[in-house]
Amino acid sequence: MNDSRRAQVLRAIVEDFVATNEPVGSKAIVQRHTLGVSPATIRNDMAHLEQEGYIAQPHTSAGRIPTDLGYRMFVDRIDDFKPLTHAERRAILQLIDSHGDLDDMLDRTVRVLSGLTHQVALIQYPTVSRATIKHIEVVGLGPNRILVVLITDAGQVEQKIVITPGTVDDEALRGIRDEVNTEFAGQKLSRVVSTIAPRTAAGHMNGASTEPAAELGPVGADVDAALTQVRSAVTDLVMATREERIIMAGTANLARSGSEFGEKMAPILEAFEEQVVLLKLLTSMAEDREEISVRIGRENTHESFSSTSLVAAEYGHDAGSSARLAVLGPTRMDYPTTISAVRAVAKYVSSVLEQG
């Protein structure tokens, strides 16, 4: 489509349909937009746009609505984005000023993004392959219970309780903590699992004795067993950081757009319950290699989302914690505002991770 006026007509149809959810006619375009032509000329342009597949007539009225192809052309031609208001920028900046671990920050992020766009917000838990272990804390919870906490330089916190066969006193716990930090602290998560060799309960790192536990005496055997269990817990926690997860907010916004989805609402909700579907969708969008990736209608790879649009951006790349955040809603979406919000939130979340 090379005709600039037809592009303006298409833009007018998209903007009016997004605003009103009503088919757009030629008279409405003349009244609302200063294109400097008559309704007859607009009708001629609309006929060409319909023939080329950019708009469609939903029923016998004179109005037209955009197709997926029309939305795609509109999005590809966006050259100005609605700036965020002062209140919106302040809400995003609170992400930086707020304290808490990575889970808290991601939860706040999806709630802010959903509030800004009035759509469903998704954030993929970061793949921290380049992150490193910052510290491992070992805390006694009782005679036979130890809490192991793994903290990464990307702000991720994982914890696990270990049940020991014998009692481990505070001095021994400090020794265990120093031992595991000496081995693991500063290591990249991506290398930890591959470099940990299986150890027996009688042996541990830094040239520890490999004598049978029975020869160490009751206390020594208990401490040695606890050390082995803590090391195993650290390995499990590192694996937990590699799990792919998604946090969502604003699913109730779908109900407000329910009439637009009709019978397709149930498959969308079912797909939400299967996070693997959303993860595959976000992963496929990473292949677009664009700052902002937009999938419209049937461009989405999963049939359940054929009536939705997804706007996604990468965050945390420079912080070693790369993942994507996104907004999902009906194809009748305010694309300029949504793209601006997704871009801004991704930028601020990346900043938080870099400050780590």
Angle (CA) 225-226-232 rounded to 5° is: 95
Q: What is the pLDDT of residues 37-71, one digit of tens each?
A: 888 999 999 999 999 999 999 876 678 999 999 99
Q: What is the pLDDT of residues 4-21, one digit of tens each?
A: 889 999 999 999 999 998
Whether residue 197 is found in the same domain as residue 219 = yes
Specify if 81 maps to a domain.
Answer: no
Beta strands in the chain, from DSSP E residues, in sequence order: 55-56, 65-66, 120-124, 133-142, 145-152, 157-163, 246-249, 292-296, 308-315, 323-330
Q: What is the pLDDT of residue 165?
A: 85
Q: What is the pLDDT of residue 197?
A: 42
Span 184-196, average pLDDT: 75
Q: What is the pLDDT of residue 103?
A: 79
Whether residue 37 is found in the same domain as residue 60 = yes
The CATH number of residue 344's host domain is 3.30.450.40
Q: What is the pLDDT of residue 149?
A: 94
Sheet with 120-124, side-by-side order of all strands:
246-249, 120-124, 323-330, 308-315, 292-296
Per the model's pLDDT, the better-predicted residue between 158 and 201 turns out to be 158
Distances (CA, A) of 147 to 111, 137, 281: 30, 8, 36
Integer Cα distance of 258 and 16 in angstroms: 20
Q: What is the pLDDT of residue 316?
A: 77
Q: What is the DSSP string of 120-183?
A: EEEEEPPB-TT-BEEEEEEEEEETTEEEEEEEETTS-EEEEEEE-SS---HHHHHHHHHHHHHH
The CATH number of residue 172's host domain is 3.30.390.60
Identity of the highest mean pLDDT range in 89-93, 96-100, 257-261, 285-289: 89-93
Whether residue 319 is found in the same domain as residue 248 = yes
Span 286-292, average pLDDT: 78
Whether residue 208 is found in the same domain as residue 266 = no
Q: What is the pLDDT of residue 294?
A: 95
From 241, 256, 271, give the residue that closes a domain: 241
The CATH number of residue 17's host domain is 1.10.10.10
Whether residue 194 is found in the same domain as residue 141 = yes
Given a contact cutoff of 8 angstroms between Cβ atoms, the answer to whether 241 and 128 are in contact is yes
When divided into structural domains, the chain yields a total of 3
Q: Which of 47-56, 118-127, 224-233, 319-328 has the lowest mean pLDDT?
A: 319-328
Per the model's pLDDT, the better-predicted residue between 136 and 266 turns out to be 136
Residue range(s) defining the domain that contains residue 34: 4-76
Q: What is the pLDDT of residues 199-227, one digit of tens each?
A: 433 344 343 333 433 343 445 788 888 99
Q: What is the pLDDT of residue 243?
A: 64
User: Is the pTM higher than 0.75?
Assistant: no
Given a contact cutoff of 8 angstroms between Cβ atoms, the answer to whether 338 and 84 are in contact is no
Q: What is the pLDDT of residue 96?
A: 65
Whether residue 249 is found in the same domain as residue 206 = no
Q: What is the pLDDT of residue 262?
A: 67
Q: Is the pLDDT of residue 193 over 70?
A: no
Q: What are the tokens at 40?
A: 């007859």
Angle (CA) 312-125-197 rounded to 5° is: 140
**What is the phi-psi region of residue 176: left when phi exceeds 0, alpha when psi lies from -120 to 50, beta otherwise?**
alpha
Return the percentage of the chain with pLDDT > 70, whole number: 84
Q: What is the pLDDT of residue 242?
A: 64
Tell me which residue has tokens 């081995």.
183
Whether residue 142 is found in the same domain as residue 221 = yes
Integer Cα distance of 176 and 225 in angstroms: 11
Whether residue 177 is found in the same domain as residue 191 = yes
